[in-house]
């Protein structure tokens, strides 16, 4: 099932674009002075990625919240985008209700559940996406809607067209992406991956980490350069044969950051069990992000095969939710 969902990602992007274009959101009633995207897990990672994508174009701050509450500054002129695939994520519902009490401008992305019920009852604009699959396998649906909403409120431009080009890029390179992913999975599947990337791509590193967590049932961590140079770098003093250090490299890296990445890789090379440099493809920041998402998803699936685990199963999360359901 997960293999088919990953393979369908380019087509999912195209379908999601059609969903957005058909949604016909109402004309903006205000020009928001801030944007808050609230969501968790597979529903929330799109917010992390989009907030970085628009950081150089949006004239207002775009912030992501992954908790029950929302920041104090979120008030009437704040656009709050509620992203919950199931529509029943308890943290997101609590944040949505708080945003409603503060009269924030709310737009919802969901496949149903209580989020949809509240949106309908309170006349909040919403975009309905297909349900029934693991949220992490439906990032294309939510990511496209987030990009579209950003365009709708004039916080960026050209993202929908760029997403079309991104889907075409993946389709043209699918066999090469799968081959690279299988080779990388073979190298890291029984290690502790440490993912390093440059500023502007942390959301992508988080997505990759989360996919290894959920699909391949692997622990790993990530860090961003240059911040990593001011703390974690000092931890690289001893041989760490269990670690696979993965450097996600992009053509738009600031030149001093690129040099830092090279130096860190040379330091880590003699300490980690394995060191990998992986290059993205694409002419724009968004295209490179979409490339990373698809490549990382395939790596996580091939790693699940290597480790002989069920890529769909999330029993421990279900156990957690069951325990929480007993709380008043």
Check whether residue 64 and residue 197 sit in a common domain.
no
SS3 letters for 87-108? Answer: CCCHHHHHHHHHHHHCCCEEEE
Q: Is residue 325 part of a domain?
A: no
Looking at the fold, whether 115 and 256 belong to one and the same domain comes out as no
Q: How many angstroms separate the CA atoms of 64 and 49, rounded? A: 10
**Integer angstrom CA distances of residue 42 from 16, 84, 135, 204, 211:** 16, 9, 5, 12, 9
What are 4-34's pLDDT values in tens digits? 999 999 999 999 999 999 998 999 888 999 9
Residues 35 and 72 in one domain: yes
C-alpha 289/C-alpha 70 separation (Å) is 27
Domain for residue 144, yes or no?
A: yes
Q: Are residues 99 and 181 in the same domain?
A: no
Question: What pLDDT shows up at residue 321?
Answer: 86
- Asked, for residue 53, whether it belongs to a domain, the answer is yes
Q: Strands 126-128, 105-110: parallel, antiparallel or unpaired by DSSP?
A: parallel
Task: Clarify whether residues 115 and 146 are in a common domain.
Answer: yes
pLDDT of residue 87: 96
Q: Which of 99, 126, 158 is the C-terminal boundary of a domain?
A: 158
Q: What region does 197 belong to: left with phi over 0, alpha with psi -120 to 50, or beta?
A: beta
Sheet containing strand 105-110, edge to edge, reads 62-65, 34-38, 78-84, 105-110, 126-128
On whether both 145 and 180 belong to a single domain, the answer is no
Number of domains in the chain: 2
Q: What is the pLDDT of residue 38?
A: 97
The CATH number of whichever domain residue 99 belongs to comes to 3.40.50.10490
- Looking at the structure, tell me whether residues 139 and 206 fall in a common domain: no
Q: How far apart are CA 289 and CA 281, in angstroms?
A: 9
User: What digits encode the pLDDT tens for the residues 245-291?
Assistant: 999 999 999 999 999 999 999 999 999 999 999 999 999 999 999 99
Q: Is residue 26, in this structure, part of any structural domain at all?
A: yes
pLDDT band at 125 (very low <50, low <70, confident <90, very high): very high
CA distances in angstroms from 304 to 133, 187, 299, listed in the order given: 18, 13, 9
Same domain, 224 and 303: yes
Domain end call among 102, 134, 158:
158
Give tens-digit pLDDT for 175-184: 999 999 999 9
Is residue 302 a part of any domain in this protein? yes
pLDDT attached to residue 328:
66
How much is the average pLDDT of 31-39? Answer: 96
pLDDT band at 324 (very low <50, low <70, confident <90, very high): confident
H or E, element range at 263: helix 255-269
Alpha carbons 246 and 224: distance in angstroms, whole number: 12
Model pLDDT for residues 50-81, shown as the tens digit of each residue: 999 999 899 999 999 999 999 999 999 999 99
Answer yes or no: is 29 within a domain: yes
Asked if the structure places residue 316 within a domain, the reply is no
Task: Please say which residue of 103, 127, 158 terminates a domain.
Answer: 158
Residue 219 lies in a domain: yes
> Do residue 191 and residue 90 come from a single domain?
no
Do the Cβ atoms of 115 and 84 come closer than 8 Å? yes
Residues 92 and 129 in one domain: yes
pLDDT at 1 over 80: yes
Q: Which residue range(s) make up the domain with 210?
A: 173-307
197 and 108 both lie in a single domain: no
Residues 141 and 280 in one domain: no
């Amino acid at each position: 099932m997960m293999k088919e969902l990953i393979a369908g990602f380019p087509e999912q992007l195209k379908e999601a674009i059609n969903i957005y274009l058909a949604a016909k959101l109402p004309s903006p009633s205000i020009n928001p002075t801030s944007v808050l995207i609230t969501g968790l897990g597979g529903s929330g990672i799109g917010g992390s990625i989009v907030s970085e994508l628009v950081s150089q174009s949006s004239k207002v701050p775009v912030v992501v919240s992954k908790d029950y509450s929302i920041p104090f500054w979120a008030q009437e002129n704040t656009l709050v985008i509620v992203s919950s695939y199931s529509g029943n994520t308890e943290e997101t519902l609590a944040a949505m209700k708080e945003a409603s009490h503060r009269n924030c401008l709310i737009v919802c992305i969901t496949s149903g559940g209580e989020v949809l019920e509240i949106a309908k009852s309170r006349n909040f604009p919403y975009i309905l996406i297909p349900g029934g699959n693991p949220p992490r396998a439906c990032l294309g649906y939510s990511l496209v809607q987030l990009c579209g909403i950003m365009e709708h409120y004039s916080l960026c431009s050209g993202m929908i067209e760029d997403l079309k080009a991104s889907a075409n890029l993946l389709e043209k390179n699918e066999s090469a992406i799968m081959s690279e992913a299988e080779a990388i999975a073979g190298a890291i599947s029984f290690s502790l991956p440490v993912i390093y990337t440059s500023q502007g791509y942390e959301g992508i590193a988080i997505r990759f980490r989360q996919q290894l967590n959920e699909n391949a049932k692997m622990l790993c961590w990530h860090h961003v350069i240059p911040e990593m140079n001011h703390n974690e770098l000092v931890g690289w003093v001893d041989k760490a044969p269990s670690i696979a250090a993965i450097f996600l490299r992009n053509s738009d890296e600031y030149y001093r950051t690129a040099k830092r990445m090279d130096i860190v890789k040379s330091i880590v090379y003699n300490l980690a069990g394995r060191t990998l440099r992986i290059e993205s493809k694409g002419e724009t920041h968004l295209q490179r992000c979409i490339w990373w998402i698809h490549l990382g998803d395939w790596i996580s699936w091939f790693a699940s095969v290597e480790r002989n685990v069920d890529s769909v199963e999330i029993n421990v999360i279900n156990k957690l939710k069951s325990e929480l359901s007993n709380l008043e």
